[in-house]
Amino acid sequence: MTDLRSADLRERWAIGALRLDRRLLMAPMAGITTPAFRRSVRRWGAGLVFTEMISSQGIDHGNRHTLDYLRCGADEHPIGFQLFGADPLVLARAAEACLRAGADLIDINMACPVRKVVKTGAGAALLAEPELAAAAVAAVVGAVGGAVPVTVKLRAGLRMGDEAGRYVAPGLVAAGAAAVFLHPRYAAQLYRGAADHALTRRLAAELPVPVVASGDIKSRQLCLELLGAGVSGVTVARAALGRPWIFGGLLDDHADPPADERLKELRLFVEEVVAEMGSRAVGYLRRFWPHFRKSGTIDRERARALMVAPDSEVVRRLLSAA
Ligand SMILES: Cc1cc2nc3c(=O)[nH]c(=O)nc-3n(C[C@H](O)[C@H](O)[C@H](O)COP(=O)(O)O)c2cc1C
């Protein structure tokens, strides 16, 4: 029987030599987890934030667009940088660039199920290549020379029931992975069905390093159950869209803040996005309006108007009138 009283999201712990002061973390999301988003969730209590997954090839080729993802403010620590790729040497050189950019942790993505990524041998495709996956970890661990921990993000496997994640994990730990993040859906499921955290609990019992849960985390009860069962940490991804304050609610068991505070957070988020992204801000923010509507921060009509706002001045005006 899980002892929920002994589980505590504010308990200190460590991934390798990286000390963390809470067990509630933000998960990486491509196209979402920009510096402004990371600041927003940290204001509400996320204990570790992540960049989105960054192409190791793109870094290696000096692609200007890719290098933008390495931007990270002095107030953003601790932060994990996530890389994807299938060539250990390229991953190793990219990891050095992440270190120079300020990474406190480097994670290798072995979870992404998107065709564009998998067909290059990266992301979840590595689950079918245990030796290459271990070589990737060893190369990155060698490149960072113990300066920061190296972790991996896994799916349960590729096809339903293959348990490839479980079978590949011990080799990754032997190669130096300091923790494993598990999204317990099979790559073939994409985001369908429920995350099966029985698999997370089992992996946590089997591995000698911290295992961190990702998938459908939106209740404090589930967080505490997982911690009580030996899972070291929990991450939130989609539930934080339009609801960054969920971190505070999960940490301290309280309801969402009042409407004026939620709106204040949204306005601050928008200002930071505009400062960071300039004319690209409006397109990026469109991904969020349906979520801020769902969280009750803006009403349906305002969300509709924001969706077609042509520039950030109009966005500001619509929000100042909210
Ligand atoms: C839009 C989007 C982008 C994502 N991008 C990444 C990524 O770059 N790297 C990664 O490891 N996982 C990525 N994920 C997966 C999440 O980190 C997380 O594992 C998954 O969404 C399950 O957690 P949730 O139910 O809390 O959303 C992404 C998920 C979404 C919805």
Judging by beta carbons within 10 Å of its beta carbon (0-12, 13-18, 19+), is residue 30 exposed, middle or buried? middle
| Pick from 239, 218, 182, 233: nearest CA to 25 | 233
Do 135 and 208 lie in one domain? The reply is yes
What sign does the dihedral 114-117-118-123 (CA atoms) show?
negative
Say what the pLDDT of residue 4 is: 57
pLDDT digits (tens, 9 = 90+) for 252-287: 999 999 999 999 999 999 999 999 999 999 999 999
pLDDT digits (tens, 9 = 90+) for 289-312: 999 999 999 999 999 999 999 999
Do 271 and 215 lie in one domain? The reply is no
CATH number for the domain including 95? 3.20.20.70
Say what the pLDDT of residue 2 is: 47
Residue 97 has pLDDT above 50, yes or no: yes
Do 236 and 268 lie in one domain? The reply is no
Task: Supply the residues annotated as catalytic.
Answer: 112
Do 283 and 209 lie in one domain? The reply is no
Do 142 and 264 lie in one domain? The reply is no
Ligand 1 pocket, residues with Cβ under 6 angstroms: 27-32, 52-53, 82, 109, 111-112, 153, 183, 214-217, 236-239
pLDDT digits (tens, 9 = 90+) for 151-169: 999 999 999 999 999 999 9
Do 55 and 142 lie in one domain? The reply is yes
The minimum-distance atom of ligand 1 relative to the CA of 238 is 27
- Going from the Cα of 255 to the center of ligand 1, the distance in angstroms, rounded, reads 24
Do 275 and 205 lie in one domain? The reply is no
Q: Residue 1 — very low, low, confident or very high, per pLDDT cuts 50/70/90?
A: very low
Q: Which residue has its alpha carbon closest to ligand 1 atom 13?
A: 29
The minimum-distance atom of ligand 1 relative to the CA of 236 is 26
- Going from the Cα of 52 to the center of ligand 1, the distance in angstroms, rounded, reads 9
- Going from the Cα of 184 to the center of ligand 1, the distance in angstroms, rounded, reads 12
The minimum-distance atom of ligand 1 relative to the CA of 53 is 8
| C-alpha dihedral, 106 to 110 to 116 to 120, nearest 10° | 90
pTM of structure: 0.97
Q: Give, for ligand 1, the residue of 24, 25, 29, 235 to mutate: max count of ligand atoms closer than 8 Å to Cβ.
A: 29
Question: How many domains does the chain fold into?
Answer: 2
Own/partner long-range contacts of 273-277 (Cβ < 8 Å, ≥24 apart)? 273/34, 273/36, 274/312, 274/315, 274/316, 275/36, 276/34, 276/35, 276/36, 277/34, 277/36
Say what the pLDDT of residue 184 is: 98
- Going from the Cα of 27 to the center of ligand 1, the distance in angstroms, rounded, reads 6
Say what the pLDDT of residue 322 is: 80
Q: Which residue has its alpha carbon closest to ligand 1 atom 22?
A: 215
- Going from the Cα of 28 to the center of ligand 1, the distance in angstroms, rounded, reads 6
Do 247 and 123 lie in one domain? The reply is yes
Q: For the beta carbon of residue 19, count every other beta carbon within 10 angstroms.
A: 10
Do 193 and 265 lie in one domain? The reply is no
Q: Which residue has its alpha carbon closest to ligand 1 atom 23?
A: 215
Do 236 and 267 lie in one domain? The reply is no
pLDDT digits (tens, 9 = 90+) for 45-78: 999 999 999 999 999 999 999 999 999 999 999 9
Pull the structure tokens for residue 197. Answer: 């955290």
Q: Which residue has its alpha carbon closest to ligand 1 atom 1?
A: 29
Domain end, chosen from 234, 252, 270, is at: 252
Chain centroid to Cα 264, Å, comes to: 24
Residue 235 has pLDDT above 70, yes or no: yes
CB 101 within 8 A of CB 80: no
Q: For the beta carbon of residue 275, count every other beta carbon within 10 angstroms.
A: 12
Do 65 and 166 lie in one domain? The reply is yes
- CA geometry: angle at 45 spanning 40 and 48, to 5°? 85
Domain end, chosen from 231, 252, 273, is at: 252
Do 173 and 271 lie in one domain? The reply is no
Judging by beta carbons within 10 Å of its beta carbon (0-12, 13-18, 19+), is residue 316 exposed, middle or buried? middle
Q: What is the DSSP string of 127-140?
A: GG-HHHHHHHHHHH
- 297: containing domain: 259-320
Report the SS3 class of residue 3: coil
Domain end, chosen from 222, 252, 282, is at: 252
Q: Which residue has its alpha carbon closest to ligand 1 atom 21?
A: 237
